[in-house]
Structure 1
Amino acid sequence: MAEVTKNTDENRFEIHVDGELAGWLDYMVDEGVVALPHTTVEDRFSGQGLAGELVRAGLDDIRTEGYRVDPQCPYVQGWIKKNPTYADLVATDDADVEDVADDMEDVTGVDPSSDPRI
């Protein structure tokens, strides 16, 4: 069973499976905005939907704390695009997540919405 916790010492949200660290979502807080630069799931836990659980839990915590989010990680950008009820958290003037994801696609050449892991 997966459990997400907030590790404030490491500035990351962590997901544990049966007590073992399976992945994490790094964060940095600055002036009411939480940057999410990177999501990691250990290879042996991939394909189980853990990254999505991790992002959802992290965004739920950010909402509860009253912060906005800067989704720097391509996975997080794609996840928000597929789950638009979280778009209001994005710290942009118009909170247009599609523009954020499109910009990331321009930089990386990868469409985050086509990633089946999201």
Structure 2
Amino acid sequence: MRVEVRHNEAASRFETTVEGLLCRADYRLDGNTMRVFHTEVPRALEGRGIAAELVRAAFEHAAQHGLKVDPACSYVRVWARRHPEVERLLARA
């Protein structure tokens, strides 16, 4: 499912609203590293690929702005493993 994802910089998150429900991927910036620590999609919307679109938008933003991504959220870690093309964006511990 393709959704329109917005970067809500003031709230430090990527978000979309589907069927009136807010879906989000929250992050914190630490220098040039974007730590994505939480994704949330309401149960009624699960299984539609919305979280994947939020995470994809976060990685695209990182790539465009010269940031590394620290996938602190378990969903983000799994998503990144499934998308080896983003490996170059991952922050190294």
TM-score (norm 2): 0.91
Q: Is the 8 A contact 1:3 1:17 kept in 2?
A: no
- Structure 2: give runs of 5+ residues left out of the alignment: none
Q: Is the 8 A contact 1:70 1:90 kept in 2?
A: yes
Distance 1:78 1:31, change over 3 A: same
Aligned to 1:6: 7
- SS of residue paired to 1:3: coil
Task: Tell which has more relative contact order, 1 or 2 (C-alpha 8 A, sep 6+).
Answer: 2
Aligned to 2:81: 81
Q: Is the 8 A contact 1:38 1:73 kept in 2?
A: yes
- Cα distance in 1 for residues equivalent to 2:47 and 2:72: 22
Q: What is the CA distance between 1:61 and its match in structure 2?
A: 0.8
Q: What is the CA distance between 1:17 and its match in structure 2?
A: 2.3
- SS of residue paired to 1:51: helix
- Structure 1: give runs of 5+ residues left out of the alignment: 94-118
Alignment length (residue pairs) = 92
Q: Residues 43-82 of structure 1: matches in 2 within 5 Å?
A: 43-82=43-82
CA RMSD, Structure 1 to Structure 2 (Å): 1.4
Q: Is the 8 A contact 1:22 1:45 kept in 2?
A: no
TM-score (norm 1): 0.73
Q: What is the CA distance between 1:22 and its match in structure 2?
A: 3.4
- Structure 1 segments, 4+ long, off by >6 Å, are none
Aligned to 2:16: 15
Q: What is the CA distance between 1:53 and its match in structure 2?
A: 0.8
Q: Which amino acid aligns with 2:38?
A: H
- Cα distance in 2 for residues equivalent to 1:48 and 1:31: 33
Aligned to 1:104: none
